[in-house]
C-alpha cells in the first residue's frame, strides 16, 4: 500500500491532487477541516468538493483535522508511517486581507502548520518527497518596482527587459511589502527548504502564480479567476480594485500544476524551489479576463473601478518557468487562460454548496 497524504484536500489544488494520485493507484489520506468556510463564509465552503471526492474515489479518506493540532496530526502519521510515499501540503490561510486582520491565526496555520508536517515527515517517513504549495507573494511587492509600462488593456514590460519572460527564483524577497499572508508563507517556504538542505528531506516549494480550475470555491478575498467568473455570471458586475484593472496575472490550471507534482515525485530533489504559473503561455489582465468572459458567455458585465489597490498587490506578475522545464522537460502545459475561463463558465452551473 502506497499512501499519499494531502493537506487542504478539498481545496482547489488539494482536490485535483486527490483525484490524480488516486488514479495513479495510491491510497489517499486527505486532511481538511473546511476552514475556508470560517474564513470566507458560505461561498468559500469546500463541502461540495469533498462530497464529489468521496463519491469518485473509493481509496480516499478525509480527516476533518486542523494542521495546527500536532497531536492529532501525529496520530495520522503514526498510523500510516512507512506506508507514506508522498506528502503534498496545500492547506493554508490564503487571503491577504484576512491575514492582516488575524495575524496569529494566519501565522499558526501557514507557518506552524507547515513546521508540524515537516517534523512528522522527518519522524515517520523521511524518504517520502514533501511538496509544499508556496506562493509568488514571497517576493512581496518587489515586482512592482520593475519598469512597467501602461498599455491599452494591461500593464506590461518592454520585450527587451530581462524579466519580460517572467520572474525567476533568484528575484529578491527583501525590502518589500509582503502582506501578512506573504510573510507567513515565506516562513513556511524557507523552513521547507531548510528541511531539505539541512535535514536531508526531499522537499520542494512551488511558488504559485494564480492557480485555478473548476474545483475552486472562489470568494471575493481569494480565488481571482474563479471568483471573477462566478461574480460575472451571477451578478453581471465586477469590482476592479486598483491599477485601473490592468494588473496582469498568469494563470495555471490545477491539473497542469499537479502534473508538476508528479514529475517531482518521480525524480525528487532536496530543498528545491520553483516558480510555477501560467507564464507567457497563459496570462491576462483583469480587464482582459472580463472581456473573455463577456465574449465566451455572451453577457455584459458592469465594471466598477476602485482606486485604492490591495496592499502588496502585484501590478504585473508573470512566472518564468525555465528552471522547472529544464529540470523536468517532460512537463507540458495543457491549458491557456481562454481554455481555463471556458471551463470555469461551463462548470459554474454544477457548483452547489
Q: Going residue by residue through the chain (353 aa), what tens digit of pLDDT does each one get?
A: 899 999 999 999 999 999 999 999 999 999 999 877 777 778 778 888 999 999 999 999 999 999 999 999 999 999 999 999 999 999 999 877 788 899 999 999 999 999 999 999 999 999 999 999 999 999 999 999 999 999 999 999 999 999 999 999 999 999 999 989 999 999 999 999 999 999 999 999 999 999 998 876 656 555 578 889 988 999 999 999 999 999 999 999 999 999 999 999 999 999 999 999 999 999 999 999 999 999 999 999 999 999 998 876 899 999 999 999 999 999 999 999 999 999 999 987 544 43
Residue 158, in any domain of the structure:
yes
Task: Give the containing element (helix H, strand E) for 341.
Answer: helix 337-348
Instruction: Answer yes or no: is 114 within a domain.
Output: yes
Query: Whole domain around residue 206: which residue ranges?
Result: 3-348
Domain total for the chain?
A: 1
Estimate the crossing angle of helix 224-235 against helix 286-297, to 10 degrees. Answer: 50
Burial 91-110 (b: 16+ CB within 10 A, else e): bbbbbbbbbeebeebbbbbb
Report pLDDT digits (tens) over 154-188: 999 999 999 999 999 999 999 999 989 999 999 99
- The grid coordinates listed for 188 are 513556511
Flag whether 239 is in a domain: yes
pTM for this model (two decimals): 0.94
For 121-146, the pLDDT digits (tens) are 999 999 999 999 999 999 999 999 99
Q: What is the CATH number of the domain that holds 27?
A: 3.40.50.720
Which secondary-structure segment (H or E) carries 115? helix 113-124
Flag whether 353 is in a domain. no
What radius of gyration do the chain's Cα atoms show? 19
In a domain, 295, yes or no: yes
Please check whether residue 81 lies inside any domain of the structure: yes
Looking at the domain assignment, is residue 167 inside a domain? yes
Amino acid at each position: 500500500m502506497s499512501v499519499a497524504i494531502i493537506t487542504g484536500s478539498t481545496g482547489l489544488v488539494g482536490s485535483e491532487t486527490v483525484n490524480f494520485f488516486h488514479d495513479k493507484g495510491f491510497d489517499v489520506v486527505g486532511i481538511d477541516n473546511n476552514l475556508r468556510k470560517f474564513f470566507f463564509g458560505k461561498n468559500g465552503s469546500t463541502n461540495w468538493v469533498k462530497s464529489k471526492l468521496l463519491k469518485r474515489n473509493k481509496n480516499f479518506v478525509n480527516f476533518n483535522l486542523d494542521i495546527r493540532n500536532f497531536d492529532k496530526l501525529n496520530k495520522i502519521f503514526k498510523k500510516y508511517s512507512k506506508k507514506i510515499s508522498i506528502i503534498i501540503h496545500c492547506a493554508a490561510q490564503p487571503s491577504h486581507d484576512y491575514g492582516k486582520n488575524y495575524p496569529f491565526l494566519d501565522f499558526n496555520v501557514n507557518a506552524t502548520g507547515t513546521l508540524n508536517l515537516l517534523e512528522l515527515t522527518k519522524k515517520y517517513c523521511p524518504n517520502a518527497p514533501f511538496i509544499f504549495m508556496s506562493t509568488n507573494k514571497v517576493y512581496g511587492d518587489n515586482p512592482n518596482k520593475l519598469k512597467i509600462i501602461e498599455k491599452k488593456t494591461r500593464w506590461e514590460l518592454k520585450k527587451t527587459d530581462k524579466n519580460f519572460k517572467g520572474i525567476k527564483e533568484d528575484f529578491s524577497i527583501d525590502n518589500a511589502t509582503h502582506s501578512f499572508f506573504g510573510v507567513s508563507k515565506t516562513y513556511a517556504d524557507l523552513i521547507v527548504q531548510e528541511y531539505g538542505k539541512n535535514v536531508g528531506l526531499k522537499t520542494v516549494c512551488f511558488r504559485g502564480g494564480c492557480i485555478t480550475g473548476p474545483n475552486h470555491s472562489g470568494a471575493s478575498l481569494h480565488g481571482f479567476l474563479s471568483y471573477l467568473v462566478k461574480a460575472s455570471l451571477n451578478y453581471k458586475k465586477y469590482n476592479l480594485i486598483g491599477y485601473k484593472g490592468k494588473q496582469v496575472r498568469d494563470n495555471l490550471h490545477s491539473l497542469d500544476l499537479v502534473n508538476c507534482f508528479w514529475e517531482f515525485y518521480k525524480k525528487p530533489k532536496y530543498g528545491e524551489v520553483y516558480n510555477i504559473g501560467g507564464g507567457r503561455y497563459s496570462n491576462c489582465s483583469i480587464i482582459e479576463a472580463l472581456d473573455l468572459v463577456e465574449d465566451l458567455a455572451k453577457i455584459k458585465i458592469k465594471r466598477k473601478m476602485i482606486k485604492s489597490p490591495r496592499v502588496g498587490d502585484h501590478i504585473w506578475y508573470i512566472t518564468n518557468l525555465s528552471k522547472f522545464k529544464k529540470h523536468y522537460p517532460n512537463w507540458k502545459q495543457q491549458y491557456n487562460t481562454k481554455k481555463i475561463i471556458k471551463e470555469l463558465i461551463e462548470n459554474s452551473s454544477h457548483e452547489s454548496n
